[in-house]
Amino acid sequence: MKNIQTKRYALGLVLFCLYCCNGIDDEVVDAEEIIVLKVVDSDGNDISGGTLAGDGETLVTLEVEIPEVADEKFREVTFSTTDGIFVDVGAKEHKKLVNINGIATTTLRVPLSNSPIFLSAEIGDGSDNFRSESLINLMGVDEVLTLQVFDEGGQQADMVYRADGETIVTLTATVNFNPNTLNQVVFESSDGTFLNASNNAVIKDINEQNMAKVGLRLPTTSGRIFFSAQVGNGPAYFDEKSLDLERAYPDKILIEPAMSSVDKGSSVTISVFLLRDVGKVSFETRADFEAFQLDDDNQEVSVGRFTGLVNATTDTDGKINVIFFADSPDIDVMQPIIIQVSSMDDSGNSISERITLEITQ
């Protein structure tokens, strides 16, 4: 204890000239009165002991102030950090002289990390050195923004979703850091349609709970759909989610021939609509086509032929067009031709529909 007090008395003599040559005051000088380290963000706010995003890009300023009348040997400051780098020197230590006002500053680039940074500033040498310390808590870049996907009932989207062009999910982004600055969220989706928007990106302001929300109507294309949310520009922070969409199969089939009869040897266009009770059938859903007549034993006998079966999948409206040719030699002109279209529903059960074409000569 005696050595510490002696050191402080000596510093007081050197730095402040507060003491007379013929005696020493009983007051002991605190280190905080000699050197003070502050950490300041780009807006000039003191963030010593606060939290930043550990993004490997953000810059902060370390500022030290000592008494203007300090002796020459106390006018060089050694800044140190346990992580990140001082941009002027590209290292974890930077020596710098104070100005005439007793102030020295340096700029630190924070690391890509979520661990605290311990900072210090030191003056003097040997037994006459004094130190001020601070720290910055770092938040991982993946923690700055949180994106979640909810169903229409407000529950986490963990159910089976169909690519039906009707179901709506809600994307919710929560800003966990610096919401005063990071107050707008850019949502993007690889497919689907944002409500009240004309493209696959939309900007939303955060609310008083630091959240931004947007509704998205799912597409009719099955497979994986990707969502992203972004805040900030330099640097920018992201979060991403995905949703696997299963194919939306039909509940019923509607067949619309161009005519109810066909001349033997000619053709007719068959238009098929795969329909759902809610929403649409997924894009490129396949259907199977058959054409047959019944013989005297009521057995099915295949007749004619179809063209376009290779591409016999639905368009965005659930429609399939094929052409049927009534040109096989075994066609019985006394019997109608039965056109049958089959597919399956969401449960994997087979569904089908038929029409008949009369044969004319």
pLDDT > 60? residue 248:
yes
User: What percentage of the chain exceeds 90 in pLDDT?
Assistant: 73
Whose structure tokens read 């399939």?
320
pLDDT > 80? residue 328:
yes
Domains in the chain, start-ordered, CATH in brackets? Answer: 2-141 (2.60.40.10), 151-246 (2.60.40.10), 252-360 (2.60.40.1930)
pLDDT tens per residue across span 86-105:
999 999 999 999 999 999 99
> What average pLDDT does the segment 315-331 reach?
95
pLDDT > 80? residue 10:
no
Tell which wins on pLDDT, 210 or 142: 210
Three-state SS letters, the chain:
CHHHHHHHHHHHHHHHCCCCCCCCCCCCCCHHHCCEEEEECCCCCECCCCEEEECCCCEEEEEEECCCCCCHHHCEEEEEECCCEECCCCECEEEEECCCCCEEEEEEECCCCCCCEEEEEEEEECCEEEEEEEEEEEEEHHHHEEEEEECCCCCECCCCEECCCCCEEEEEEEECCCCCCCCEEEEEECCCEECCCCCCEEEEECCCCCEEEEEEECCCCCEEEEEEEEECCCCCEEEEEEEEEECCCCCEEEEEECCCEEECCCEEEEEEEEECCCCECCCCCECEEEEEEECCCCCEEECCEEECHHHCECCCCCEEEEEEECCCCCCCCCCCEEEEEEEECCCCCEEEEEEEEEEEC
Rounded to an integer, what distance in angstroms lies between the CA atom of residue 357 and that of residue 360?
A: 9
pLDDT tens per residue across span 207-245:
999 999 999 999 999 999 999 999 988 788 999 999 999
pLDDT > 70? residue 254:
yes
pLDDT at position 204: 96
> What average pLDDT does the segment 104-131 reach?
92
pLDDT tens per residue across span 16-35:
443 333 222 334 445 567 89
pLDDT at position 32: 61
pLDDT tens per residue across span 181-212:
899 999 999 999 999 988 889 999 999 999 99
